[in-house]
């Protein structure tokens, strides 16, 4: 499918979400018409892929700036790897070590489905990830369409979700589900609506995920657990998910308000490095 105004070639990646955009070099300044066409495609397809890119840090930030104000990282200073080069807008997702220390974040292993920064009162809208070094296998990124995750729920469940909020909490140190039975003050956390209306598209999306959503507020623990387990059913529904196998030079941009993502495991002995930046968001409402 070609956009006749800009020449963009937009090809869906799956039945659930995602599209590849061909015919654009992201290292070059984007004209406004092309940026607008990409923005529209982003809101329609949720995840966009650009292959075979060659981007400097500045190129990547300049591209992201076409879609909003580039965000700074939320990781507390005490949790940053010592000695790593630090640019507040850029995060390296990497397991590579220099002088015994990781040069980036989220080094190894699988990661469960999550929305980036849902533990923040104003979650960043979009994430931009660029593949620089890749393992021999695995390390794929799975994306779930959270509009569709909401739509698949029964009318009864949808009615039950009205007005509900959930605790979103994240531990930068372990990247595992936080035990909330103790003092949670040390962890980044906030309360968010269980469903959100996307501020641009006006569509409703489910806004919970198994890594960061700890409980439904104002609900007994067992009921909260059962409801969350039902809502997390989207993670097993292949019809809602696109799995991206990275190639060097790939750039993915995704909408954090209506998708969540996960990572598959990969050999820890292989090097993997992706460069990430984000654009800022706003408080989300039901
Ligand atoms: Fe993430």
202 CA distance to ligand 1 middle (Å): 23
Q: Tokens at residue 60, please?
A: 């990547």
In a domain, 62, yes or no: yes
pLDDT at 72: 83
Alpha carbons 263 and 284: distance in angstroms, whole number: 25
174 CA distance to ligand 1 middle (Å): 14
24 CA distance to ligand 1 middle (Å): 25
3 state DSSP class of 271: coil
282 CA distance to ligand 1 middle (Å): 18
pLDDT at 82: 52
In a domain, 196, yes or no: yes
In a domain, 206, yes or no: yes
In a domain, 218, yes or no: yes
pTM of the model: 0.93
In a domain, 286, yes or no: no
Q: Per the structure, how many domains does the chain have?
A: 1
114 CA distance to ligand 1 middle (Å): 6
pLDDT at 235: 93
Q: Which domain holds residue 243?
A: 1-281
Residues of the chain with pLDDT under 70: 1-6, 74-86
Residues with CB under 5 Å of ion ligand 1 are 116
Contact 131, 274 (CB under 8 A): yes
pLDDT at 166: 98
In a domain, 35, yes or no: yes
Q: Tell which residue, 283, 245, 236, 239, has the closest CA to residue 266.
A: 245
Contact 14, 8 (CB under 8 A): no
- For residue 66, give the CATH number of its domain: 3.60.130.10
In a domain, 132, yes or no: yes
pLDDT at 108: 83
Contact 169, 208 (CB under 8 A): no
In a domain, 176, yes or no: yes
């Amino acid at each position: 499918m070609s956009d006749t105004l800009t020449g963009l070639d937009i090809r869906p990646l799956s039945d659930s979400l995602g599209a590849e955009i061909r015919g654009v070099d992201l290292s070059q300044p984007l004209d406004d018409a092309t940026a607008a066409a990409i923005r529209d495609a982003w809101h329609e397809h949720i995840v966009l892929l650009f292959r075979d890119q060659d981007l400097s840090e500045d190129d990547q930030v300049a591209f992201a700036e076409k879609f909003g104000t580039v965000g700074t990282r939320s990781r507390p200073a005490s949790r940053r790897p010592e000695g790593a080069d630090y640019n507040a807008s850029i995060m390296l997702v990497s397991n590579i070590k220099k002088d015994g220390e990781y040069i980036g974040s989220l080094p190894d292993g699988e990661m469960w489905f999550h929305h980036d920064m849902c533990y923040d009162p104003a979650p960043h809208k979009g994430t931009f990830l660029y593949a620089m070094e890749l393992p021999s296998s695995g390390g794929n990124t799975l994306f779930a369409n959270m509009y569709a995750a909401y739509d698949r729920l029964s009318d009864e469940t949808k009615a039950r979700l009205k007005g509900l909020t959930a605790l979103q909490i994240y531990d930068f140190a372990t990247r595992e589900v936080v035990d909330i039975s103790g003092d949670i003050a040390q962890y980044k956390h906030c309360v968010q609506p269980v469903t959100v209306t996307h501020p641009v598209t006006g569509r409703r999306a489910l806004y919970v995920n198994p890594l960061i959503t700890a409980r439904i507020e104002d609900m007994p623990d067992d009921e909260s657990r059962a409801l969350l387990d039902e809502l997390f059913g989207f993670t097993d529904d292949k019809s809602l998910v696109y799995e991206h196998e990275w190639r060097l030079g790939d750039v993915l941009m995704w909408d954090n308000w209506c998708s969540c993502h996960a990572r598959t495991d990969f050999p820890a002995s292989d090097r993997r490095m992706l460069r990430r930046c984000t654009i800022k968001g706003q408080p989300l409402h039901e």
